[in-house]
Chains A and B, each alone.
Chain A
């Protein structure tokens, strides 16, 4: 009961701040201080979200597919790369600068090039999600591998463990917290990455829908999609948190 109460108390300031923001938004737009063609009222945004929900969902399925495939490929590539780097020092020296470079590439600039290379289908969107999600997971996993206390390795060696056993029993499980903290960031990037790539070319998806409603000056729908993306990203982060808890039960004890 005390823990539950404390949990609610901890979240209270954020909830109050959010409600306050919505009230200010409603007052500013509802009283006409900010004209409605520049900023819709929260109520009209919610109305748009409800009325347009079937359409948004149709587009969201495409976006979520791109985000999911991109994130999945990003996870596999990142874990394989980080694992190879921790075992082969030359690879670590060769790849780390390249990894940092992938993070500095401006998404908005690379997206049209990917469309040019891969067409208007799902491939360039997935590629962009891979590019945005790869780095946090790779760095998180790599940091996890590197943070292993060398005494654990000595302890394992003293018991006659080889490299493979040390990886299975020590390195990999101890890298999991780093992997999941990277994955949490990447999960939030995944949907945004897919939407940004859709903005720059495509036939369906939330990004495509947003460009259409923007051209029609239907800002209430635009905001409705933004809120939808925020909620989806938060849900994805929550999923990662729940999976992390299930996979690493020792961190809950």
Chain B
């Protein structure tokens, strides 16, 4: 049985269907991308899955439980890092634990154990404004991880604001961390290369309204070779995705 399933999800805003009859699933330990052009409703789909908005049709099942329209069950990292500027990094990261009722000192201690793992050592008592873009994303990812009770995280273009070099470095780091912490991840991106490098499977969305057009399996075991992005297999998948997107 899948860890997370979205079944026939439809969302309508102002009589306009944004996403239509979308069904996707995520298995334990998988990284699955939802790839689509701008305006294809990827973020709306994630808002439905995370419970921030209720879909007009369909349901979201997590570990066999219907969580449609119930926020707080699935961890969701939005496009920006959204670290609270007034909280120190340690307090930002431990916030999900505090919200679950842990005492501040315990939450700090618990979150602090992951700082080295996430390459954040030494930043505990700093404010987010003192961190670089890449470090902010790491801190936001750690917060997302600590918030993921059900073992599922939704990441909405988390690396889109980073420059190419930082992005590539964080991809390697991200895959390494995901392998260690065994977090099952649904990942939004409009970057084809990023989707292929990071994912086990890729759902391709078309727009107006957003529908799942195809599903691509990236049959390359993780951890992936650093040169995977230059391989023939990579280029074959990229050509396939481009042709699907161009057909619309």
Query: Residues of A with Cβ closer than 8 Å to B?
Result: 149, 151-152, 154-161, 165, 169-170, 173-174, 176, 248-250, 253
Contact = CB atoms under 8 A, between A and B. Distances in A.
A25 to B, nearest CB: 45
Contact of A165 (B47, B85, B99, B127): B99
A176 B76 CA distance: 27
B82 A152 contact: yes
Contacts of A250: 85-87, 127, 129
B82 A160 contact: no
A165 B87 CA distance: 14
10 contacts: A154-B52, A154-B76, A155-B76, A155-B78, A155-B82, A160-B99, A161-B72, A173-B84, A174-B86, A250-B127
Nearest to A155: B82
Q: Across the A-B interface, give the 3 residue pairs with the lowest CB-CB distance, nearest first.
A: A160-B72, A158-B76, A173-B86
Contacts of A174: 84-86
A162 to B, nearest CB: 9
A157 B127 contact: no
A160 B127 contact: no
A159 B147 CA distance: 6
Contacts of A170: 84
A160 B84 contact: no
Contact of A157 (B71, B96, B130): B71
Contacts of A169: 84, 87, 95
Interface string B83-102: 01111000000011001100
A160 B95 CA distance: 11
Contact residues of A: prevailing secondary structure: helix
A171 to B, nearest CB: 11
B50 A158 contact: yes
Nearest to B148: A159
Interface residues of B, number: 27
A156 B50 CA distance: 12
Contacts of A165: 99
Most central of A159, A169, A170, A174 by chain B CB within 10 Å: A159
B100 to A, nearest CB: 7
Interface of B: 47, 50-52, 71-76, 78-80, 82, 84-87, 95-96, 99-100, 126-127, 129-130, 147
Given A155-B78, A155-B82, A160 B52 contact: no
Contact of A158 (B75, B80, B127): B75
Given A165-B99, A173-B84, A174-B86, 9 more contacts: A152-B82, A155-B76, A157-B71, A159-B99, A160-B72, A173-B87, A174-B84, A253-B126, A253-B130
Contact of B127 (A149, A151, A156, A253): A253
A151 B95 contact: no
Contacts of B79: 151
Given A157-B72, A158-B71, A159-B96, A151 B52 contact: no
A91 to B, nearest CB: 26
B100 A160 contact: yes
Most interface-central of B78, B86, B87, B100 (chain A CB within 10 A): B86
Given A250-B129, A253-B129, A159 B82 contact: no
Interface centre among A149, A155, A165 (most CB of B within 10 A): A155
Contacts of B129: 250, 253
Contacts of B78: 151, 154-155, 158
Nearest to B149: A160
Given A250-B127, A253-B129, A159 B95 contact: yes
B82 A151 contact: yes
B80 A160 contact: no
A159 B127 CA distance: 21
A160 B85 CA distance: 20
Contacts of A253: 126-127, 129-130
A169 B84 CA distance: 8
B80 A151 contact: yes
